[in-house]
Amino acid sequence: MATTTADSTAEARRQVEIPSKRVTPSQIEALSQRVVCGGEREMVEVEQPFTGKPLGWVPKSRPEDVDAAFERARAAQREWRQTSFAERKAILLRFHDLVMERQDELLDLLQLECGKARRHAYEEALDVAIVARYYANTAEMHLKPQKRQGAFPILTQTWEYHHPLGVVGIISPWNYPITLSVSDAVPALAAGNGVVCKPDSQTPYSALWGFALLEEAGLPRDVVQVVTGSGSELGPSIVDNADYMMFTGSTATGRTVAERAGKNLIGSSMELGGKNAMIVLDDANVARAVEGAERALFSNAGQLCISVERLFVHESIADEFTQRLAERTRKMKLGTSLDYSSDMGSLISESQLETVREHVEDATSKGARVLAGGNARPDLGPYFYEPTMLESVRDGMTLFRDETFGPVVSVSRFSDIDDVVERANDSDYGLNFSLWTGNTRRGRAIATRLQAGTVNVNEGYVATWASVDAPMGGMKASGLGRRHGAVGIQKYTDSQTISIQRLLPIAPPPMVAQGLWARFMNVSLRLLRRLPGVR
């Protein structure tokens, strides 16, 4: 990823080669022009991971551009918050339909920008549509005024209201660039907020495409603003301007964002790192578990916060399971095709490739054994790395505890349920776990003992992620707050309680002594204790 002046990229723009008829250089240029920047700015090159060639360039926004973006979004939000739930619903449902209609265009863009296999890009496209549909249909239910139980029946009437916070700041990563920008913005918009989003500089176009499509669906343009550039340069300005922060990224950066948000007394929600575990019990269907493991381990080349990096298999089936999974892993097809023929795509960048290479080399130099993979594949593209299985991984190896964020898994055995639960929980992280068993009642009971925000039984990650009516997020160092469900939209609001007191105050009436009033209250409370329906 290179930074150049605007003038020096003009000729390069004309020579960009994009292997897609649905995504053209002129479309890429039009998306770049949606970035907020005041005047001439340095340009940041966006690379195609499949080839290392440029996909396009976006302006390198400055902190003053962030200020301007929030000013525009705040002005537009004052009108947007006055729209009805019905109006917002219509826009989000039109957006849902447009995503489905233009799906192939989005899939091409995701592959070109991220290096994903198409099957993994498809999961991301589905997510955007599902989240838009869900909040289109449920925003009013989650946010409409609710009558609550008052202090005293009949005398006190109480309501709960939800008001939009203002403008939400979103800082999103490169691995799922439309899900972690647009899908997180959808509930904020459905609640009546404006949004300023900073997508990762490696993958800005998917977010820009999604927000452009929202506007095509009817969202007023200035309600959402996009800035691009360095997170370290723009992040502080975003947090300082925002009324709420949504962040997805590393745990280290998340701590910085949370600290600054806390000092500003604004709320924040964040999905951070993971070192996720998959446990295969002795009664699991081996064939199903092996197939599910491939998806759980190697989706998006392992560059998925909720993918699995630690695999625990019961000793009674470990030989069969490991052999079958290793054979399946070796047969996986890696490729750059813009169709469904490849099982796995590329890593995003040279730095990500280097991290994966270093983790594997460190482990093997300290005694880990390669069961499958273990090599870079420059013959396919600059950042390809084989899906890799290792055994005999132990504490002291970098990848034992640190997140690799690549197609690498450590395989180990267990014999005792209590032991494997303890080993799985022995991590600073707790984002997503997977458990495989033939007895789902048993599986659910064990799942409640696992210290992770989501646990999938007989699935890797999709079941909980796609259950958007339920909250999703991490425990321990894997995050703060939740996305999805009621909490995923209510977090973008200020709750307000309004009570009306009738007839008698909650205080001694005139001429009634405090002691007499206290005795009356004690009798009343004892009576209320016995009334059905009084909480």
User: What pLDDT, on the 0 to 100 scale, is given for residue 223?
Assistant: 98
Catalytic residue list contains 305: yes
Chain segment 172-207, per-residue pLDDT in tens: 999 999 999 999 999 999 999 999 999 999 999 999
The DSSP output letter for 223 is G
Q: What is the dihedral of CA 222, 224, 225, 226, to 10 degrees?
A: -150
User: What pLDDT, on the 0 to 100 scale, is given for residue 531?
Assistant: 82
Chain segment 116-166, per-residue pLDDT in tens: 999 999 999 999 999 999 999 999 999 999 999 999 888 999 999 999 999
Q: Is the pLDDT of residue 453 over 60?
A: yes
User: What pLDDT, on the 0 to 100 scale, is given for residue 13?
Assistant: 62
User: Which of the following is catalytic: 37, 114, 197, 305?
Assistant: 305
Strands 475-476 and 267-271: unpaired
Grouping H, G, I as helix, E, B as strand and the rest as coil, residue 433 is: strand
Strand partners, 161: 496
CATH code of 3-272, in short, is 3.40.605.10
| Burial zone of 530 (CB within 10 Å; 0-12 exposed, 13-18 middle, 19+ buried) | exposed
User: Which of the following is catalytic: 47, 124, 271, 391?
Assistant: 271
CATH code of 276-477, in short, is 3.40.309.10
What stretches of 149-214 adopt beta strand conformation (E)? 156-164, 167-171, 194-198
**Six-digit token pair at 28?**
């890429």
Position 85 confidence tier, pLDDT thresholds 50, 70, 90 = very high
Chain segment 351-397, per-residue pLDDT in tens: 999 999 999 999 999 999 999 999 999 999 999 999 999 999 999 99
More confident residue, 89 or 5: 89
Q: Is the pLDDT of residue 299 over 60?
A: yes
Position 535 confidence tier, pLDDT thresholds 50, 70, 90 = confident
User: What pLDDT, on the 0 to 100 scale, is given for residue 532?
Assistant: 82
Report the predicted TM-score, pTM, of the whole model to 2 decimal places.
Answer: 0.96
Report the mean per-residue pLDDT for the chain: 96
User: What pLDDT, on the 0 to 100 scale, is given for residue 5?
Assistant: 58
Position 528 confidence tier, pLDDT thresholds 50, 70, 90 = confident
Chain segment 230-285, per-residue pLDDT in tens: 999 999 999 999 999 999 999 999 999 999 999 999 999 999 999 999 999 999 99
Average pLDDT score over residue span 317-344 = 98
Rounded to whole angstroms, how far apart are CA atoms 323 and 328? 9
Rounded to whole angstroms, how far apart are CA atoms 249 and 381? 26
The DSSP output letter for 183 is I
Determine how many CB atoms are found less than 10 A away from the CB of residue 504: 12
